[in-house]
Structure 1
Amino acid sequence: MSEECSASSCSSCGVSGCGSRKAPEEKPKTARANVKHVIGVVSGKGGVGKSLVTSLLASQMHKRGFKVGILDADITGPSIPKAFGMSGRLTADNDGINPGMTESGIKVMSVNLMLPQEDMAVAWRGPVITGLLKQFWEETNWEDVDYLFVDMPPGTSDIFLTVMQSFPLEGIVTVSAPQELVAMIVGKAVNLAHDMNVPVIGLVENMAYFKCDECDKEHFIFGEPQGRFVAKRYQIPAYSTLPIDPEFARLCDMGKVEDYDVADKLDPIIEQIEIASRLADAKKEGEQAQG
């Protein structure tokens, strides 16, 4: 059997046509890249705020003093550059592609930084998209990055599998909304991650409530939050809830997502990210000692 399983049903994970998860490249091929930890942000469906959560997690880690990057793997629906107010085209040199940079210093790779117009449609087929994703990982001059967040497209398509198989993910954070239908679809992504031996380290339930300006009461527009129950059902070690907040939309439209005050709402997720990174570091040290 080849390195990527070509059987109709993979013997490793049982997923039809997915291929077993081979050992991903630990480092990009370009010499000017030292990416220490890679975290994926996923959702079972679109429209739940996955890119927003990616932006907030990256911003929070950057504010804590870490060197942070974002790889925008949502090739056909990229929104990261807009949220950070980024424009202009990427450049390259003899070593590879130079990522874009937010005003605060977060590095970003996104197809929207390669297009002549930000609203130009990206109507590419799967093989082209997966090839570009590998280029983003292997040929980008990331320099030193403590945490690279991968904003993945919604669902469990071939792009999802490409990232799972090709990137050294230490864990994924899944994003949902407070609806049973959404929770069920999120479960598909969680189960596939488990099948491919990628730990799910956190759940962010977005749009969980609306807090009234006048009465300060929390209103559950989409029904009672289910983050706690979904996290327990799928054995996810931490969950957080985020409100429906017009300030989110306003700051994203202005390209100022980093200015949003998320307070301590994402602390449980960030704690799990740091735990996952420490476990990964300990594993590497053990392997080097044995080697």
Structure 2
Amino acid sequence: MSDELIEKLDRIPDPASGKGLHAAGRLDGVAIRNGVATIVLKVGADESPEALKQSIESAAMALPDVERVRIISTLQRSQGEPAAPARPRQAAPAAKKPAKQVIAVAAGKGGVGKSTVAANLAAALGKSGRRVAVLDADIYGPSIPRLFGLLDTKGLRKTDTGIEPADAHGVKIVSMGFLTKPDQPVVWRGPMIQGAIQQFLNDTDWGDPDVLIIDMPPGTGDAQLAIAQTVAIDGAVIACTPQDLALDDARKAMAMFEKTHTPILGLIENMSVFLCPHCGEPSEIFGHGGTRAEAEAMGVPFLGEIPLTIELRERSDSGRPLAFDEGAVADAFARAAEAMLESAGEARKPAPEIVLTD
């Protein structure tokens, strides 16, 4: 079916060369899944492709299995034109910042509870009276819909003011999980991932929240670069567990943010200890204190320890972050959230001016 769509798109002339879009190299990705046709279109820096997009949409909708069309635009340089030099983070974003503070929650590897940490930090900030939004940028493994009880949310509605986020417990949320079935993988190449994240960031009507939490995908790849190039991030929080294997990968995540001029706001040790539900005795299943020691060694803030409890697992599965309520775990998330904002405030302070006198 994708081949048939490419054939139809190649009948649309490229305004610059007169060739079909496929022959002209304007298509960077074409896929049809679950009735949705996704086309990644290369556009020039000075080009207004709206008429071309209308032709693409009409051609795609003519296919019997296509119910909706998603067009993602990526910048195409002229042949021989050099890539733009790297710029400092402050000068990179051209779009309006989606929140007063934009904070990424990341991890060097999967399985450390990064999404649980991101959801509960957002919940703790919401509980404190702040306006909070969450962008689930983990395209391949979106967990935020389950953590906020939004598994029944189908699709994202677009209005005149932009994409309308879902709402859970007062937190505004956008996730790829709203566009796919829970058991269905997202099989996308890098440009499609980058385009989707850029659209989520720039085209969503976030409503001017105080804090936007970005739940980053694990590792260091296309999604991380797309976010760093699209929006000025105030800082990144690294979620980690105490064992050495997780700490090794956390160092890679920190190095990636340093390369994109993003401040590291601090480290959070998740699953720090297991609290027995019967006697309350702590057990150091994954070790304990490794993340604090790593933060001290790297010279970055240590934001706190989050214990592992049966209640935290149950509440994550049921779709209401535990940080909305009371108790030891909720208090731990509240302290970590406040430490995170304090660190972000320090990161925004200008460097002291040095005055030399005779």
| TM-based fold match above 0.5 | yes
Change (3 A) 1:109 1:205: same
Partner residue of 1:37?
101
| Partner residue of 2:163 out of 86, 97, 107 | 97
Cα drift, residue 222 of structure 1: 1.6
| Partner residue of 1:119 out of 153, 159, 183 | 183
Change (3 A) 1:208 1:278: closer
Cα RMSD for the two superposed structures: 2.2
Give the percent of matched residue pairs that are identical in Structure 1 and Structure 2: 36
Cα drift, residue 202 of structure 1: 1.7
Q: Distance in 2 between matches of 1:22 and 1:182?
A: 31
Q: Distance in 2 between matches of 1:215 and 1:279?
A: 40
Q: Secondary structure at the match of 1:130?
A: helix
Cα drift, residue 188 of structure 1: 0.9
Query: Which ranges of structure 1 fall in alignment gaps of 5 or more residues?
Result: 6-11, 13-19, 284-291
Partner residue of 2:336?
269
Partner residue of 2:127?
63
Q: Distance in 2 between matches of 1:168 and 1:268?
A: 25
- Cα contact 2:269–2:292 (8 A) shared by 1: no
Cα drift, residue 26 of structure 1: 6.2
Which structure has the higher relative contact order (CA within 8 Å, separation 6+)? 1
Partner residue of 1:206?
270
Q: 1:83-119 deviations in whole A, cap 9, x for unaligned?
A: 11112232111231111111x210001011123x232
Partner residue of 1:2?
83
Cα drift, residue 142 of structure 1: 0.7
User: Is the radius of gyration larger for structure 1 or structure 2?
Assistant: 2
Cα drift, residue 267 of structure 1: 4.4
Cα drift, residue 276 of structure 1: 4.6
**Larger % of strand: which?**
2
Cα drift, residue 64 of structure 1: 0.7
- Cα contact 2:147–2:318 (8 A) shared by 1: yes
Does 1:109 find its partner at 2:174?
A: yes
- Cα contact 1:45–1:155 (8 A) shared by 2: yes
- Cα contact 2:125–2:334 (8 A) shared by 1: no
The alignment covers a number of residue pairs equal to 264
Cα drift, residue 47 of structure 1: 0.4
Partner residue of 1:289?
none
Cα drift, residue 224 of structure 1: 3.0
Matched to 1:38, the amino acid is V
- Cα contact 1:4–1:22 (8 A) shared by 2: no
Change (3 A) 1:224 1:282: closer
Query: Which ranges of structure 2 fall in alignment gaps of 5 or more residues?
Result: 1-81, 351-358
Q: 1:18-71 deviations in whole A, cap 9, x for unaligned?
A: xx757332644xxxx852110000000000000000000000000111110000
Q: Distance in 2 between matches of 1:195 and 1:67?
A: 30
